[in-house]
Structure 1
Amino acid sequence: MSVLEALPMSRKQIRSVVESTGKISCWEGAIRSGKTIASLLKWLMFVAQAPSTGELAIIGKTSQTIHRNLFLPMQDPALFGEIAAHVHYTPGAPTATILGRLVHIIGANDAKSEPKIRGMTLCGAYVDEVTLVPQVFFEQLLGRMSVRGAQLFCTTNPDNPAHWFMRDWLSQVGTKPIRRFSFTIDDNPFLDPEYVRDIKAMHEGLFYRRFILGEWVAAEGAIYDAWDRDRHIVTALPKAGIHRWISLGVDYGTKNPFHAVLLGLGADRKLYAAADWRYDSRQHKRQLTDAEYSQRMRSWLGDVPGIGPVRPQFVTVDPSAASFSTQLRRDKLTPTAAKNDVMDGIRTVSSLLAANKLLVHASCKDLITEIGGYSWDDQAALRGEERPIKVADHGVDALRYAIFTTRALWQRQLALAA
């Protein structure tokens, strides 16, 4: 029995493995559609027969994402059988051993990563989420693959149709040496039908079209298009109470408003933006110092209106607000630098709203106004960039900090793959 016959794979996955014989092969499309498993099988088959001259490399946004997205599946006997025992990697290490071959592990999260591969002569490379890799890095990578028979394998979820990878590569199939294999979530017959229904229900608008249908569509219009005032605004917290005060998200501002949002996990397994505190120096015609912000915020936490004293598990602060974080440490309130992965954070909040797992208390008036008006920057989209319009976004940023930075604390309780 061949490896292809032994593994649980769809005909579409098998065809992509067989046909990925060109210089560059890309598996793209919906989440959980089977593209990663198919591409990893092809990678393992390539490594087993790769040219003896030249080096091998796996590239991703960070070594952590490489371990999570690639090595955990490759080391799973349920997926790759006996092959899994021949994949050796220590998380964070610069190299791995796959089927006896040394493989370099390279994080490429910004343009400064490009020098990491200078001087290398590659016979094979695998790129996880290629649209997150800087263009200059990708071009340098291709230039390093000079060994006869060298191949590059990559995966990605859909992005903006003006993204450089779509513009310069995926749309050039037939004129450039690239093979494109596209998948939707329905192309994976091994998923539990209930899971498929749930994950479809957790996405709306842009994210549904990209991560469920596998379409390359531009971000436009409202960011949180699942937001429904009648459904998501509550006038009371759950009767069973808040099980855990997870975090206080803080978007720091001096000339711009300072906004803090208190996030709790309800006993009903939903997240609640339960209260917020905001100071707008323009309205008050006076800027506060870091010490004053700290004092007033801590005083508010000492007696949150309608709730009482709260000590959140985390205070997730705008990562650019270093001086304010220093002040909080002086005041014995230990801050955590918020994870500011904007698109991932927006997607997480969007999924929560779509699944009706995030509710906002009616007292958070400024936050409520911002959620409804939070929109994509159309001009940036034309340039292949995706970013929100930087207007009236202080509360939504604070909410995103509070939610995305602490997702490991609430994901399991909400049973949500956000």
Structure 2
Amino acid sequence: MALIDLLTKKQIKVLHSYLNDDWKYLILNGAVRAGKTVIDNYLFLLELKRIQNLAKIEKEPHPQYILAGYSSNSIYTNIISSLENQFGIVMKTDRHGHYHLFGVDIVPAYTGSVRGIGAIRGMTSYGAYVNEASLSTREVFKEIMERCSKGSARIICDTNPDIPTHWLKKDYIDNHDPKARIKSFSFTIDDNTFLDPEYVEALKAATPRGMFYDRSILGQWVTGEGIVYQDFNKDTMVVPDDEIPDGLDYYCGVDWGFEHPNPIILLGDDKDGNTYILKDFTKQHKFINYWIKIAQNLQEEFGRNLIFYADSARPDNVTEFQSHGINCINANKNVLPGIEYVAMKMRSGKFKIAQSCADGIMDEIYQYAWDEATGMPLKENETRHNDRLDAIRYAIYSKNKKGGFVPWN
């Protein structure tokens, strides 16, 4: 079987560079589903074999290697589980939480916070594989570099794009100094020729316009321009109340406030994946007892098991809700993944607002704009609020993406 039957042309180009070029850092960046992690997982195995041979030459009985990712879950999902699926290699942790393969001690490091690198402090590593590198803090990435102090140590990375001023892009991907020995490859989704064309076509059609499309499909390091929800269309997404079906799967989003408005938003999903914004309870300067009464009234109308996905910034309010028999849980507040999920609903025509509660929500949608400096939505001020949109995002994303962080890969 020819190599072209197993790898895409871009993956073969990466493999050729791995085998023949002089490099210290090999960074694959670009679109989702483009094949970056697949080839990096293969290079990870080649690196372990290389280190096994080096350790024998150097008479090193315990060679160590860093396997880094945002969290233990992302390392398992993107790498460990994928290795089993791709190559039938089953890797289990020992009592220290380390993996072992080809005689190499593989030490996990978690890049989402400085605390996640405790396991590698003081170690001398033969190399590192950093998954989702742009999600790493700069301090953690620097620590991983410093641990890879063996003369032959090399670092492999893969990442999805972020803002163009991100430290990974400025300091590494755009660093063309030959002494730095950095090789980087950029992927678009079309580089993965093994994907079903219908899947690619549907993904392109569903991905929101602007920043999300440029990053996820084209693999570009860009920031947003203009309003966040570019695909919102009031002519098709605001519907008369009497056209909203009964028997939806009801739930709520809550963004606590006092000086800022405090919304409780009632939503409902139908069996076709359409999400309806049904009721908007937004007020300022109301204490918790007022909101408890609102929630209890909603429970009486829509059932005692009605879930309230709430802002975790006010655990006292969450506890008060729970103590009054209200099914209130902390929302998944990841900003960009949450916004993207809501935007994909809009792009695919599955986001609807009841006409009776549309005015306040539309006011926020039309003012919800990107901050060019940070790549995040502009912060609230005295004249612009996004409390309703936060509550809507909490509810929609938490209901559909339970269990924490969902990376772009």
TM-score by length of structure 2 reads 0.88
Q: What secondary structure is seen at the aligned counterpart in 1 of 2:229?
A: coil
User: How many positions carry a matched residue from both structures?
Assistant: 387
Range with greater deviation from structure 2 (215-224 or 138-147): 215-224
Answer yes or no: is 1:66 the counterpart of 2:75: yes
After superposition, the Cα gap between the structure-2 partners of 1:71 and 1:60, relative to the gap in structure 1 and judged at 3 Å, is: same
* 1:159 partner SS: coil
For 1:194 and 1:311, how far apart are their aligned partners in 2?
A: 42
Q: CA deviation at 1:408?
A: 4.2
2:24 is the alignment partner of 1:23: yes
Q: Which residue of 1 aligns with 2:324?
A: 331
CA distance 1:89–1:342, change in 2 (3 Å): farther
| 1:56 corresponding residue in structure 2 | 65
Structure 1's unaligned 5+ residue stretches are 282-287, 304-308, 410-416
Give TM-score scaled by structure 1 length: 0.86
Cα deviation 1:54-83 (Å, max 9, x = unaligned): 41121111111111222221110xx33xxx
Instruction: Select between 176-185 and 43-52 the one with higher mean Cα deviation.
Output: 43-52
Shift of 1:252: 0.4
- What is the 5 A alignment of 1:267-278? 267-278=271-282
Q: Which amino acid aligns with 1:374?
A: Y
Structure 2 residue runs without a partner (length 5+): 403-407
For 1:75, the equivalent position in structure 2 comes to 84
Q: Residues 92 and 131 of structure 1: is their aligned pair in 2 closer, same or farther, counting only changes over 3 Å?
A: farther
Q: Does 1:253 find its partner at 2:257?
A: yes
Which whole-Å CA distance do the structure 2 matches of 1:74 and 1:91 have between them? Answer: 18
Match of 1:221 among 223, 226, 231: 226
Tell me the alpha carbon deviations over residues 226-273 of structure 1, each in whole angstroms, 9 at most, x when there is no partner.
11111222223766534422x311100011111112222113331222
Q: Secondary structure at the match of 2:67?
A: strand
CA RMSD of aligned residues (A): 2.4
From the superposition, tell whether residues 330 and 239 of structure 1 become closer, same or farther in structure 2 (CA, over 3 Å): closer
Matches within 5 A, 1:80-91: 80=87, 84-85=88-89, 87-89=90-92
2:3 corresponds in structure 1 to 5
Query: In the superposition, relative to structure 1, how do residues 100 and 314 fare at CA in structure 2: closer, same or farther (>3 Å)?
Result: farther
Correspondence for 2:405: none
Q: Distance in 2 between matches of 1:289 and 1:40?
A: 53
Question: Is the Cα–Cα contact under 8 Å of residues 238 and 266 in structure 1 kept in the other structure?
Answer: no
- Is the CA contact (8 Å cut-off) linking 1:206 and 1:219 kept in structure 2? yes
Q: Which residue identity lines up with residue 70 of structure 2 in the other structure?
A: K
TM-fit CA distance, 1:310: 4.4
Change (3 A) 1:340 1:90: farther
Whole-angstrom CA distance in 2 between matches of 1:276 and 1:293: 13
Q: Distance in 1 between matches of 2:245 and 2:288?
A: 37
What whole-Å deviation, never above 9, does each CA across 1:99-126 have from its counterpart, x for those lacking one? 4433112222124445443212111211
Matches within 5 A, 1:103-182: 103-175=106-178, 176-182=180-186
Aligned mates of 2:260, 2:237 — CA distance in 1? 27
Q: 2:105 aligns to what SS in structure 1? A: strand
In structure 1, which of residues 211, 215, 239 is the aligned counterpart of residue 216 of structure 2? 211
* Residue in structure 1 matching 2:378, options 377, 388, 410: 388
Q: Secondary structure at the match of 1:375?
A: coil
Give the SS at the match of 1:121. Answer: coil
Runs of 4+ in structure 1 over 4 Å off: 90-93, 237-240, 310-313
Among all aligned residue pairs of Structure 1 and Structure 2, give the percentage whose two residues are the same amino acid.
28
Letter in 2 for 1:43: F
Aligned to 1:294: 292
Q: Are 2:367 and 1:377 equivalent residues in the alignment?
A: no
Deviation at 1:400, TM superposition (A): 0.8
Partners of 1:91 and 1:292 in 2: how far apart?
52
Say which SS state the counterpart of residue 344 (structure 2) adopts.
helix
Write the distance in 2 (CA, Å) between the matches of 1:258 and 1:395.
8
